[in-house]
Amino acid sequence: MAEPKKLMRALAGETLETPPIWMMRQAGRYLPEYRATRAQAGDFLSLCYNPELAAEVTLQPIRRYGFDAAILFADILLIPQALGADLWFVTGEGPRLSTITGTDDFAKLKGASDVHEHLAPVYETVKILSKELPSETALIGFAGAPWTVATYMIAGRGTPDQGPAHALKAEDRATFEALIDLLTDATIEYLSMQIDAGAEVVKIFDSWAGSLKAEDFQKYALEPAKKITQALKARHPNVPVIAFPREAGDGYIGFANATGADCVAIDNSVEADWAAKHVQSDGCVQGNLAPGHMVTGGQALIDETKRIVKAFSGGPHIFNLGHGITPDANPENVQLMIDTVRS
């Protein structure tokens, strides 16, 4: 039997001497080798749908830094595209999609089990990675959470306050809930196929969970995460799930127990000491260095990294940023963070 991977040990609840480490958006524009492969692919979406090149960019940060986990290179907006939405990226601005303004737009979407043909290249990327990754590196698959994906589908773009999605929820709740249900089912299908292809862990990104309050948070962030986790556990009982209800604040408390997730990822708006006390008490946590330290570096990076490692040292912890690394980050600061965590 091979040694269990460090990431899998933390997810199983083990408290390790030094935490495993990986980074959200670790394959990204801050790396010159990523920019070169992306140019070779032509554009971002062509890169996502090219299994050889998507596997290559996934492997780049593993070769450079030796992270404990690789995350599949893809995007949370491939699911809307697989459901029939138009998707394109505007350089320097971000994603654009056809919009969902009511029941007529919703009716044009495909069904949850129709996504696989479109997403086949993603499954192929996972297969390549499961062969090519070093034996100590865990492979993480992922999808967007239904609410976060719905915010992009409804507005047709990223929005500062998710206003259009909140408006549809208020004005046409039946269509809104039908969309959440469709995305929940499609996400189960999608993640299950990633697991069949070789993903060892899956992560659900709910980047905009923080704009759901009170009962809405329960119904549209927690409930879908629970449905997805439970359906996956029924099919793949040994595959851990990481939930990331970003900016959930007090909503992080009890989220793992309520959904069945094995780990909750914490953003950097939350104090590590607070999260250790109120969230890590339920099991593994991931996080939560502010991504800005990857730009600024220096002693502040070292001090803050040490503070977070120490705060979470009493329980299972995966070191990560509180959100994705930004294109202006300095690759040397990433090495400094890793050296600090592992020393």
Residue 98 beta carbon to ligand CP3: minimum distance, rounded to whole angstroms = 16
| Amino acid making up residue 210 | G
Both tokens of 94, joined, read 């971000």
- Using the rule CB under 6 A, which residue among 65, 67, 73, 252 binds ligand CP3? 73
Cross-strand pairs, 241:
202
Dist CA 154 CA 3 (whole Å): 45
Half-sphere exposure of 246 (CA within 13 A, CB side): 19
Dist CA 264 CA 285 (whole Å): 5
Nearest partner of 206 among 172, 178, 170, 180, judged by Cα = 180
Both tokens of 146, joined, read 């239904």
Q: Is 35 designated active site? A: no
Decide: is 44 part of the binding site for ligand CP3 (CB under 6 A).
yes
| Closest CB to ligand CP3 among residues 112, 202 | 202
Q: Is 38 designated active site? A: yes
Active-site residue (options: 34, 49, 152, 220): 152
Active-site residue (options: 9, 25, 123, 267): 25
- Using the rule CB under 6 A, which residue among 12, 15, 16, 29 binds ligand CP3? 29
Q: Is 267 designated active site? A: no
| Closest CB to ligand CP3 among residues 207, 333 | 207
Number of other CB atoms surrounding residue 249 within 10 Å: 15
Number of residues that bind ligand CP3 (CB under 6 A): 21
- Using the rule CB under 6 A, which residue among 6, 38, 169, 226 binds ligand CP3? 38
Q: Is 157 designated active site? A: no
Which 93-122 residues touch ligand CP3, going by CB under 6 A?
Answer: 94-95
Stretch that binds ligand CP3, among 27-35, 120-128, 182-190, 276-284 (CB under 6 A): 27-35
**How far apart, in Å, are the Cα atoms of 328 and each of 4, 38, 131, 296, 337?**
35, 17, 32, 10, 16
- Using the rule CB under 6 A, which residue among 7, 21, 54, 71 binds ligand CP3? 71
Are the beta carbons of 326 and 291 closer than 8 angstroms?
A: yes
**How far apart, in Å, are the Cα atoms of 91 and each of 43, 50, 95, 96, 195?**
9, 19, 9, 11, 32
| Closest CB to ligand CP3 among residues 232, 325 | 325
Active-site residue (options: 29, 35, 157, 342): 29
Per-residue burial over 299-336, b if 16 or more Cβ lie within 10 Å, else e, is eebbebbeebbebbeebbbbbbbbbbbeeebeeebbeb
Dist CA 329 CA 327 (whole Å): 6
| Closest CB to ligand CP3 among residues 158, 297 | 158
Residue 26 beta carbon to ligand CP3: minimum distance, rounded to whole angstroms = 5
Stretch that binds ligand CP3, among 10-18, 20-28, 111-119, 272-280 (CB under 6 A): 20-28
Residues near ligand CP3 (CB under 6 A) are 24-29, 38, 44, 71, 73, 75-77, 94-95, 142, 144, 158, 205, 207, 324
Which amino acids are annotated catalytic?
25, 29, 38, 75, 152
